[in-house]
Amino acid sequence: MKVLVIGGGGREHALVWKISQSPRVRKIYCAPGNAGIAAQAECVDLSAEDVGGLLAFAQAEDVDLTVVGPEAPLAAGIVDVFEAAGLRIFGPGRAAARLEASKVFAKRVMQRYGIPTADGCVFDAPEAARKYVRQLSGPCVVKADGLAAGKGVIVADNYAEAEAAITDIMERKVFGAAGERLLVEERLYGAEASVMALTDGETVLPLLPAQDHKPVLDGDKGPNTGGMGAYAPAPAVTPALLRRIEAEILLPTVRGLAAEGIVYKGVLYAGLMLTPAGPRVLEFNVRFGDPETQPLLYLWAGDLIEAVEAVIDGELRGVKLAWHPGTAVCVVLAAAGYPGGYRKGDVINGLEDVPRDIAVFQAGTARKDGCLVTAGGRVLGVTARGADAREAVERVYAAVGGINFDGMHYRRDIGQKALGTLGTEDRDRM
Ligand code: AMP
Ligand code: GLY
């Protein structure tokens, strides 16, 4: 079959790499792809958000199956458009994608179906929001309602920070229309985990739990990024806790939406805080996480295409996922300046010496004058597997040591939390 993957980051490189191993796949296109993806797929010069262009391409090339990486085309309704044209596509429709595209919608769904999450209040005017946070007089979290490239959440320690966030979102409109409404919610404490599941709208099949590392610096310091690294499985989510997350969070969400006539098909990603009172949802995403997908697909032993087809056909019941043993860790190598304005065009060296059993998933890369150069904030995701977390961490950092480009920076503590070296703060709170 011919498969089209939409997107051009590290997540999509991992998807293309995994899909290329399926015996049923003859040809892979990726729009827009990147320099790494070009080795395994034919890159197509179309933006991931150009729904009309992507539809015309899929029809012209007789694409049998489309797999969507990022949230923007899902929120724009690409799945509805492709399905209306009779094409097979993996991901939730526009109505279901609101779980990620509107934090207010997600909060209301959670409130309706008793899904554990932080208490929150919705505002559509700054004055009322200010009055509310003044009364709270303690830490809180201010969230722009809409998509803000992962930057619309401000964890405020006090009134001054919360008030600045309200001004930025509602008056200075730093996230544009995403900030027309905002959510102020209770601040939660604990370790974070990412639990993704495949769902066909009825059956929910969790993948191994993963952990992302959002802040740019070691020890979870500095501003948030799209994710500086991830590993799976995350021991903080024990098998018993995973069952609880499935029963209390994932299933009620899918069933609640189904009761409202919204059939959720695709990946449902719960960003969780593991609080002393149990797991709480911080956010839902309606797609594979980036970078969590890189270690997850590196551990996935089965055929991804078979699972994707079972989701589309509503035949997930009875499907069992197979995993390689051990732990996988992905370390993101970022460009100078990231997550702020970053530099492009630095030559990337050392990839040819990376051992063959270590994957380098490319994100912001391009080819220039025959050289591989940086072209985005997150540049590479070096991914290794080990018999346990310690071995995976050792192997991934040994490989990272051989790669360089000007201004390259990365966290040196990815996977430490899996080694049982949680900070006392985290341990006390769990
Ligand atoms: P989100 O995009 O909603 O996942 O939020 C980004 C980050 O903000 C999360 O990974 C958490 O670290 C933090 N965060 C979000 N909501 C809360 C909350 N209610 N309490 C504490 N931290 C939060
Ligand atoms: N790693 C977080 C996300 O994909 O949103």
User: The domain spanning residue 36 has which CATH number?
Assistant: 3.40.50.20
User: Quick one: which atom of ligand 1 is closest to the CA of 150?
Assistant: 2
d(CA 162, CA 139): 8
Regarding whether 322 and 231 lie in a shared domain, the answer is: yes
Sheet holding 120-123, edge to edge: 120-123, 182-186, 140-144, 153-156
Ligand 2 and 283: CB distance under 6 A: no
| Domain at 337, CATH number | 3.30.470.20
Average pLDDT over residues 75-80: 98
Q: How far is CA 237 from CA 113, 142, 242, 301, in A?
A: 23, 27, 6, 21
Average pLDDT over residues 305-310: 98
Residue 143 lies in a domain: yes
**Nearest bound ligand to CA 165?**
1
What confidence score (pLDDT) does residue 151 get?
Answer: 82
Residue 288 lies in a domain: yes
Count of residues for the chain?
A: 430
Q: Is the pLDDT of residue 222 over 60?
A: yes
Domain tally, the chain: 3
What confidence score (pLDDT) does residue 138 get?
Answer: 83
Q: Which H or E run contains 393?
A: helix 389-400
Q: Is the pLDDT of residue 421 over 60?
A: no
Q: Is the pLDDT of residue 322 over 90?
A: yes
How remote is the CA of residue 187 from the centroid of ligand 1, in Å?
A: 8
CA atoms within 13 Å, Cβ hemisphere of 114:
2
State both tokens at 190.
Answer: 């604990």
Range of the domain at 312: 191-428
Cβ atoms of 180 and 146 within 8 Å: the answer is yes
Interval 7-26: pLDDT, tens: 999 999 999 999 999 999 99
Task: Give the chain's mean pLDDT.
Answer: 95
User: Quick one: which atom of ligand 1 is closest to the CA of 103?
Assistant: 3
Ligand 2 and 292: CB distance under 6 A: yes
Sign of CA dihedral 163, 166, 169, 171: negative
Residue 43 lies in a domain: yes
**Domain-terminating residue out of 180, 214, 245:** 180
Average pLDDT over residues 167-188: 95
Cβ atoms of 410 and 228 within 8 Å: the answer is yes
Residue 100 lies in a domain: no
Hey, which of 153, 175, 188, 194 would you mutate to test ligand 1's pocket, going by the most ligand atoms within 8 Å of its Cβ? 153
Hey, which of 147, 196, 212, 330 would you mutate to test ligand 2's pocket, going by the most ligand atoms within 8 Å of its Cβ? 212
Hey, whose CA ends up nearest to atom 8 of ligand 1?
153
**Domain-terminating residue out of 75, 91, 107:** 91
Ligand 2 and 212: CB distance under 6 A: yes
Regarding whether 322 and 226 lie in a shared domain, the answer is: yes
**Domain-terminating residue out of 140, 157, 180:** 180
Predicted model pTM: 0.95
Cβ atoms of 188 and 139 within 8 Å: the answer is no
Interval 350-399: pLDDT, tens: 999 999 999 999 999 999 999 999 999 999 999 999 999 999 999 999 99
How remote is the CA of residue 86 from the centroid of ligand 2, in Å?
A: 30
**Nearest bound ligand to CA 226?**
2
**Nearest bound ligand to CA 143?**
1
C-alpha closest to that of 209 among 225, 227, 191, 197: 197
Average pLDDT over residues 226-235: 97
Hey, whose CA ends up nearest to atom 4 of ligand 2?
289
Residue 102 lies in a domain: no
Cβ atoms of 254 and 268 within 8 Å: the answer is yes
- Using a pLDDT cut of 90, give the percent of the chain over it: 94
Regarding whether 130 and 37 lie in a shared domain, the answer is: no
How remote is the CA of residue 191 from the centroid of ligand 2, in Å?
A: 16
Hey, whose CA ends up nearest to atom 13 of ligand 1?
155
| Domain at 139, CATH number | 3.30.1490.20
Least confident of 23-32, 377-386, 421-430: 421-430
Regarding whether 245 and 146 lie in a shared domain, the answer is: no
Hey, which of 143, 196, 269, 331 would you mutate to test ligand 2's pocket, going by the most ligand atoms within 8 Å of its Cβ? 269
Band the pLDDT of 423: cuts 50, 70, 90: very low
Regarding whether 392 and 269 lie in a shared domain, the answer is: yes
Regarding whether 251 and 146 lie in a shared domain, the answer is: no
Pairing mode, strands 191-199 and 378-386: unpaired
Regarding whether 14 and 147 lie in a shared domain, the answer is: no
Regarding whether 236 and 301 lie in a shared domain, the answer is: yes
Cβ atoms of 386 and 303 within 8 Å: the answer is no
Regarding whether 69 and 146 lie in a shared domain, the answer is: no
Q: Which residues in 318-351 are b (16+ Cβ under 10 Å) and which e?
A: eeeeeeeeebbbbbbbbbbebbeebebebebeeb
Residue 96 lies in a domain: no
Residue 79 lies in a domain: yes
What confidence score (pLDDT) does residue 182 get?
Answer: 96
Interval 190-212: pLDDT, tens: 999 999 999 999 999 999 999 99
Ligand 2 and 227: CB distance under 6 A: yes
**Nearest bound ligand to CA 147?**
1
Regarding whether 239 and 372 lie in a shared domain, the answer is: yes
What confidence score (pLDDT) does residue 150 get?
Answer: 76
What confidence score (pLDDT) does residue 420 get?
Answer: 67
Residue 111 lies in a domain: no
Interval 119-158: pLDDT, tens: 999 999 999 999 999 988 789 999 999 998 878 999 999 9
What confidence score (pLDDT) does residue 429 get?
Answer: 39
Interval 42-59: pLDDT, tens: 999 999 999 999 999 999
Regarding whether 196 and 175 lie in a shared domain, the answer is: no
User: Quick one: which atom of ligand 2 is closest to the CA of 285?
Assistant: 5
What confidence score (pLDDT) does residue 1 get?
Answer: 98
Continuous H helices in 137-188: 159-166
Q: Is the pLDDT of residue 219 over 90?
A: yes
What confidence score (pLDDT) does residue 427 get?
Answer: 36
Q: What 3-state DSSP class applies to 154?
A: strand
Regarding whether 365 and 315 lie in a shared domain, the answer is: yes
